[in-house]
Chain A
Amino acid sequence: MKTVNQKAWFFVLPVMLLVAFNALIPIMTVVNYSVQETFGNNLFFWEGLGWFEKLLNSPRFYSALGRQFFFTFSILAIEVPLGIMIALAMPKKGFWVPVCLVTMALPMLIPWNVVGAMWNIFTLPDIGLLGYFLNSVLGISYDMTQDPVAAWATIIIMDVWHWTSLVVLLSYAGLVSIPDAYYQAAKIDGASNWAVFRFIQLPKMKNVLTIAILLRFMDSFNIYTEPFVLTGGGPGNSTTLLSIDLVKIALGQFDLGPAAAMSLIYFAITLLVSWVFYTLMTKDD
């Protein structure tokens, strides 16, 4: 005899409440702002899709989006191959394994705003160690506060310094899980180092690399703190990424409506590109 009642709802309730408070309600608030014009004294006027329309016709949005994509794809193009190479070069057993692992993990343990501040001080042309060295010792003109190219180079190098370790650690985890027997079998087959990489190591690293690329994509596409502390979006607007622009609109100008519309589009793009990445990388399985 089955007992039919509604008690099971009580077990699901905590999760539903949690999701409601940390995801559903905040998102709905943003949706709410995105279709209204906000004035002081909590005055709201219905805007419909007006903000979205304006945003999608605004050159300012597209240039920030372009910079965002440029940043993300630049750091992915550097960090993924570099991370794999470092992981391949790391020792697989012995005394140096923990030393390497801890050294690799260090940059990731530093708070993000500290990373930005560190690199800012490090690269200042007059007092920074690197800035001073490049300008006064090597005679290379370098000023990331004035020159957009230098500013871009600095934020990309900073991100590579900060996050390549993540790709290294994940790839390394994939590499050490490969049994010796496969390497022996490959040697017996007469495989070259490249063939071992292409047909044994890479397929074995595929799953962790998928995760690494996804994480690096999402993190770098939403990056705010480090470039904001380092360049503040300058010189001019040259390093104003989407997130920096968004904060300017939302908090600087307190334009909640346009900022909310921009947040939703931002979110949709992140979601869409992540989905495309994931689908492409796992389509063989």
Chain B
Amino acid sequence: MTLELKQVTKRVGALTYIKPTSLKLEAGHFNVLLGETGSGKTSLIKLMAGLEPLASGQIFMDGQDVSKLSTQKRNISLVHQFFVNYPHMTVFENIASPLQVAGMAKSEIQGRVEEAADILKLRPMLNRRPDELSGGQQQRCALARAIAKESNAVFLDEPLANLDYKLREELREQLPELFAGRGAVVVYATSEPEEALLLGGYTALMNDGNMTQFGPTADIYRAPHDLVSAKVFSNPPINTAPVVKKGTRMQLSPDLSWELTGTAAGLTDGDYTMAVRPHHVTPTQTPDTRVALTGTVLVAELSGSESSAHFSMGDQNWVSLAAGVFPYRIGEVHQFFMDPQHCLYFAPDGRLVA
């Protein structure tokens, strides 16, 4: 199964919600839509599901134009962030509802529902109504409905956002297995870069109604097309700063510059923007982290086994994220180190150049 978007757009009145977007999604791996709240993930999913009309463009499923086809006829599943279950039906009936609509035999429905319920540990709750379940159980019920149905495409719109931490971890691990070997195109929307990395597969980066980059998740993480994509796919936010290339050196400030190697060395002299991820800026030095940054600590946070520090260098704010516990003091001048190998350089128009 494939799902292909050709130059689709969505407009409401004079506002453009989705700018022309083309994508080719395939079955067999997760397709993650990554972007902040309001970047157009849900809008794009609704377009693909046929819940909202296209302003222009076409959608193909397995090569067939479904742009004009109603949602009912597209044979899809969708799980929302805010779980939707029919309140007057039991969990069993909820999971069975799409199968009943499809006219499946009773015995087969029974088997399918029980299978889905077992995977999502809902077996003891099959005879309860949704309002008798906890939030996590309700969301699992909604997921079970999506799993039980043999759909062509499964849309998961931040399905784990409202669950507690433990359940989230657990389900995130299970999700790729659940849909593996199904033949359905799985689209997973999230606002968390880590989630995209954990789920693997392919990722499409969304920013302000634009799909800025699409490709294998690891590739686009390592080599974002442009500055916007780099910013979308980084949490905490990626550090950026204007730099000047002179000869073989890249200069961040008059007294801070480093020797360039590889493709970066071949750039023409001039102004660039550099970007480096927070976890490549560390408070300890290794032989590789040649460049020392001196800054004043503004905010320090300790989350479990990671320490993050926001520090200022001149008029710039940077973030460092390192494994281990570091005793930062607010207002203290501290040294941080980075490996210039990990720096990305962007041309003034935002394109990645090295």
Interface, chain A (partner B; CB < 8 A): 181-182, 184-185, 187-192, 195, 199-200, 203-204
Instruction: List, in ascending order, chain B residues with CB within 8 A of A204's CB.
Output: 88
Q: Does B299 contact A (CB under 8 A)?
A: no
Q: Which of A185, A195, A200 has the most CB of B within 10 A?
A: A185
- B139 to A: closest C-beta gap in Å: 13
B76 cross-chain contacts in A, Cβ below 8 A:
188
Given A184-B51, A184-B78, A199-B97, check contact A191 B84 (CB 8 Å).
Answer: no
Point out the residues of chain B lying under 8 angstroms from A188, CB to CB.
49, 51, 71, 76-78, 98
Contact indicator B71/A187 (Cβ below 8 Å):
yes
Enumerate chain A residues within 8 angstroms of B77, measured Cβ to Cβ. Answer: 188
Least Cβ–Cβ distance between B162 and chain A, in angstroms? 14
* Closest Cβ–Cβ distance, residue B138 to chain A (whole Å): 13
Residues B82 and A181 in contact, CB atoms below 8 Å apart: yes
**The one of A187, A189, A190, A200 that contacts B51, using a Cβ cutoff of 8 Å:** A187
5 closest A-B pairs by CB: A187-B71, A189-B98, A203-B88, A181-B84, A190-B72
Q: State in angstroms the CA–CA spacing of A182 and B97 once bound together.
A: 12
B101 touches A190 (CB 8 A): yes
List B contacts of A182 (CB < 8 A). 84, 86
Contact A191 B72 (CB under 8 A): yes
Contacts of B101 in A (CB 8 A): 189-192, 195
- Kindly report which residue of chain A lies nearest to residue B75, judged by CB atoms: A190
Residues on A with C-beta less than 8 A from B70 are 187
Q: Which residue of A lies closest to B76 (CB)?
A: A188
30 inter-chain pairs at a CB distance below 8 angstroms, sorted by A residue, are A181-B80, A181-B82, A182-B84, A184-B71, A184-B78, A185-B78, A185-B84, A187-B51, A187-B71, A187-B72, A188-B51, A188-B71, A188-B76, A188-B77, A188-B78, A188-B98, A189-B97, A189-B145, A189-B149, A190-B73, A190-B75, A190-B98, A190-B101, A191-B72, A191-B101, A192-B101, A199-B97, A200-B86, A203-B88, A204-B88
- Interface assignment of B105: CB less than 8 Å from any CB of chain A: no
Chain B residues packing against A (C-beta within 8 Å): 49-51, 70-73, 75-78, 80, 82, 84, 86, 88-89, 97-98, 101-102, 145, 149
A200: which B residues are within 8 A, CB to CB? 86
Min CB distance B142 to A, Å, is 9
**B49: chain A residues within 8 A (beta carbon):** 188
**How far is B71's CA from A195's CA once the two chains are assembled, in angstroms?**
15
Most buried by B among A182, A195, A199, A204: A199
Most chain A beta-carbon neighbours within 10 Å: one of B50, B70, B72, B76: B72
A5 to B78, CA, bound (A): 64
Measured between C-beta atoms, what is the minimum distance from B23 to chain A in Å? 20
Complexed CA–CA distance, A203 and B50 (Å):
26
| Nearest chain B residue, comparing its CB with the CB of A188 | B78
What is the chain A residue whose CB lies nearest that of B83? A181
CB distance from A223 to the nearest CB of B (A): 34
Contacts of B88 in A (CB 8 A): 203-204
Complex CA gap A188/B101 in Å reads 11
Q: Chain B residues near A203: list those with CB within 8 A.
A: 88
Q: Which residues of A contact B72 (CB under 8 A)?
A: 187, 190-192
A175 CB to nearest chain B CB (Å):
15
Bound form: Cα–Cα A34–B127 in Å: 54
Taken together as a complex, chains A and B put the C-alpha atoms of A200 and B70 apart, in Å, by 19
Identify which of A188, A191, A192, A200 gathers the most chain B CB atoms within 10 Å of its CB: A188
A155 to chain B, nearest CB (A): 38
Please measure, in the bound complex, the distance between the C-alpha atom of A155 and the C-alpha atom of B28, giving whole angstroms: 67
Contact present for B102 and A190 (CB under 8 Å): yes
Complex-state Cα separation, A13 to B189, whole angstroms: 63
* B145: A residues at CB distance < 8 A: 189
Q: Which residues of B contact A190 (CB under 8 A)?
A: 72-73, 75, 98, 101-102
Query: What is the minimal beta-carbon distance from A15 to any residue of chain B, in angstroms?
Result: 35
CB-CB under 8 A from A181, the residues of chain B are 80, 82, 84
Contacts of A195 in B (CB 8 A): 101
Rounded to whole angstroms, the CA-CA distance of A245 and B157 in the bound complex is 66
Instruction: Report the minimal beta-carbon distance from A63 to chain B, rounded to whole angstroms.
Output: 43
A188 to B145, CA, bound (A): 11
Q: How many angstroms from the CA of A17 to the CA of B89 in the assembled complex?
A: 46
- On whether A184 and B84 interact (CB within 8 A), knowing A190-B72, A190-B75, the answer reads yes
Q: Nearest chain-B residue to A203 (Cβ)?
A: B88
Q: In the complex the two chains form, what is the Cα distance from A184 to B102 in whole Å? A: 17
Contacting residue for B86 out of A185, A187, A192, CB 8 A? A185
In the docked arrangement, what's the CA distance between A166 and B297, Å?
A: 68
Q: Which residue of A lies closest to B98 (CB)?
A: A189
A188–B155 alpha-carbon span in the complex (Å)? 10
Assuming A187-B72, A189-B145, A199-B97, what are 16 further A-B pairs, CB within 8 angstroms? A181-B80, A181-B82, A181-B84, A182-B86, A184-B51, A188-B51, A188-B76, A188-B78, A189-B101, A190-B75, A190-B98, A192-B101, A199-B89, A200-B86, A203-B88, A204-B88
Cβ–Cβ < 8 Å partners of B102 in chain A: 190
Residues of A within 8 A of B86 (CB): 182, 185, 199-200
CB contacts (< 8 Å) of A189 on chain B: these are 97-98, 101, 145, 149
